[in-house]
Structure 1
Amino acid sequence: MSSDSLPPLPCRHIVVQGGGNAANALTCGARLGLSSRLISKIADDRQGRGLLEELEADGVDTSCIVVSKGGRSPFTYVIVDNQSKTRTCIFHPGHPCAVPDDLPQSRLLSALDGAGLVYFDARFPEIALKVAVEATCKSIPILIDAERKRRGLDDILQLASYAICSATFPQAWTEAPSVSAALVSMLLRLPKLKFVIVTLGENGCILVERREEESPALEETDADSLLESLKQRRDDSTATPTCFSSSCVKLRANGIGTVNGRLLLGTAERIPPHEVIDTTGAGDAFTGAVLYAICAGMPPEKMLPFAAQVAAACCRALGARTGLPYRSDPRLAPFFC
């Protein structure tokens, strides 16, 4: 059968809106109450102008976005299947790409002025490293989104204070035999990391937090076994996100080493199937909530359910930003008490 004889696929809804990991996460943070500033590059085309207008409407500072007089802004077509709840992304990277010369020292210093936290999705590694080095010199903590292995990502990871990883990244990066062992390995390899999170979609997330306690009384515990014991505490009948935490122990990953810290298991919200519209941007929403939580000083036990609640809200609308909640959302009220 030739492609010419295939019936056209019906499309029920079309939404055109801004995207990109960092832009989505900062939009989420801004709606929650953060002062957000984005460093990026777009073209002076219809998509670029729309991106700026949308970010500014959400309160994101766009003064450090470089606007190229020529070229084309990045663009992604996202096809959402209502029946299978899957999505297909067709990405056009745009041009010209951001380079370090787009961010002279004066603009870099302006971008970091008053910053309490810097977040990277590392899509433009050279310019990201330039910002990361300056942020480190100014003792500004760094959160990195480790979605997949990228050129230049390792250099930024070495400077990071916090990391959020996709489900596959920790083991792919460390070659550890399990997720929990991989998280322990990441803390050992990256001594500046205070915590690392791996997101698991509907299966929640896992966080390993470094603790500075050096008491000889700390019990040495296998990370895999500890994770399994936390999983047994879950109550699958509970719809709202929860968090289960270990005490501070010497977390051991066999053949890798030990690190003093805690292991936390966060659950996702159990969303009724008919309420799930689109999972696009759910990970960015989670990251945006973590950005807010770090800046607000939330402990991990509160941060993980909060981020899961925000991500669940995103899944209830079409597009990466439509469902991002505002601080006034009643579902978030318990977290702001």
Structure 2
Amino acid sequence: MILDFGSINMDLVMVVAALPRPGETVLCDGYVTKPGGKGSNQAVAAARAGARVAMAGAVGDDGFGQVMRATLAKDGIDTSLIATSERPTGVAYICVDAAAENFIAVGSGANLAVRADQVPDDRLTPDTLLVLQMELPPEENWALLKRARVRGCRAILNVAPAAPVPESALRDLDLLVVNEHEALSIAGTLGLDISTPQAAAAALSHTLDLTCVVTLGGAGAIAVGREADFAVPALPIQPVDTTGAGDTFTGVLAAGLDAGLPLDQAMRRASVGAALACLALGAQESMPTAAAIDAALPRLGPNTPIG
């Protein structure tokens, strides 16, 4: 069972000819509202990949909150741990240009009201895989992570968006998922080797006794740990919108590990899932099902050792 402790947002997406520069106003035809938030995105990605998922977070007592609850439930996600806050539901403003690049600004809203004690101890078991991101108050992440470790949960942290992580929290993790910039930042903060993302991943893994997964966009991803030292390629695609690709990778990876797959197989599914999520506009609507991932897997190249 996956327990996702994370953010829930409504995304307002605008397709523009070019991303605006500071001080510039860019007009477009309109906008669409789409479910989002890193926590919610990863929960949906994991559920569509076949996992049983519970979501812990918060929404406002407003229309966006009602839509988000219904959307998560439609994907079979347990929403009983989602609180209702006096703050409004979180909103992300997303601009996507013709090259599928984006910029995102997030109004956190109800996400700032999420508390670790929303999750009772009986939901933290050795059969639980806890998934965390960085869009909630960080002290609540670390409080829940410490309780989870004491109770024997496995835990994954996706350090997105990039932010400082205490060494004590890193040591409570089983799996750290970062992009190349986040890997270098975290390793550098700890005084470790930051000559390359691979070196940073190796140093983090060795120092913290965890597995470090570094996503590399169109170059795929690498994994370094006691039983991992390999690279997974990316599926060749022509992207439409990269929003949510990283969340899809983490969610599908968590689903594979929760199902008992070896890390190399789980990462192959995650790489394919992330690529497929770039083929349509929006984060959650573009996330693939397990069947779609199965169908595309044969097109993915082989894993390669990186040692």
**1:103 corresponds to 2:117:** yes
Tell me, yes or no, if the aligned pair for 2:145 and 2:155 is still in contact at 8 Å.
yes
Within-5 A mapping of 1:110-149: 110-112=122-124, 115-122=127-134, 123-147=136-160, 149=162
**1:268 corresponds to 2:234:** yes
Secondary structure of the structure 1 residue equivalent to 2:70: helix
Query: Which one-letter code corresponds to 1:269 in the other structure?
Result: L
**1:312 corresponds to 2:275:** yes
**1:31 corresponds to 2:39:** no
- Aligned partner of 1:249 in structure 2 is none
- Aligned partner of 1:203 in structure 2 is 219
- Bigger strand fraction: 2
Specify the structure having the higher radius of gyration (Cα).
1
CA distance in 2, matches of 1:86, 1:96: 26
CA distance in 2, matches of 1:199, 1:7: 33
- Aligned partner of 2:206 in structure 1 is 188
Structure 1 unpaired stretches of 5+:
1-5, 212-261
Secondary structure of the structure 2 residue equivalent to 1:328: helix
Tell me, yes or no, if the aligned pair for 1:306 and 1:332 is still in contact at 8 Å.
no
- Relative to the length of structure 2, the TM-score reads 0.80
Shift of 1:124: 2.3
CA distance in 1, matches of 2:245, 2:88: 26
Within-5 A mapping of 1:166-315: 166-175=179-188, 176-191=194-209, 193=210, 195-211=211-227, 262-271=228-237, 273=238, 276-315=239-278
> Aligned pair in 2 of structure 1 residues 95, 297: CA closer, same or farther (>3 Å)?
closer
> Aligned pair in 2 of structure 1 residues 108, 199: CA closer, same or farther (>3 Å)?
same
> Aligned pair in 2 of structure 1 residues 332, 153: CA closer, same or farther (>3 Å)?
farther
CA distance in 1, matches of 2:61, 2:80: 15
> Aligned pair in 2 of structure 1 residues 120, 137: CA closer, same or farther (>3 Å)?
same
Secondary structure of the structure 1 residue equivalent to 2:95: strand
Query: Which one-letter code corresponds to 1:47 in the other structure?
Result: F
> Aligned pair in 2 of structure 1 residues 21, 8: CA closer, same or farther (>3 Å)?
closer
Query: Which one-letter code corresponds to 1:138 in the other structure?
Result: R
Greater RCO structure (CA 8 Å; 6+ sep) = 2
> Aligned pair in 2 of structure 1 residues 24, 115: CA closer, same or farther (>3 Å)?
farther
- Relative to the length of structure 1, the TM-score reads 0.74
Secondary structure of the structure 2 residue equivalent to 1:37: strand
Query: Which one-letter code corresponds to 2:40 in the other structure?
Result: A
Structure 2 unpaired stretches of 5+:
1-23, 189-193, 299-307
CA distance in 1, matches of 2:150, 2:293: 40
Query: Which one-letter code corresponds to 2:49 in the other structure?
Result: L
CA distance in 2, matches of 1:331, 1:298: 14
The two structures, once aligned, show a CA RMSD in angstroms of 2.4
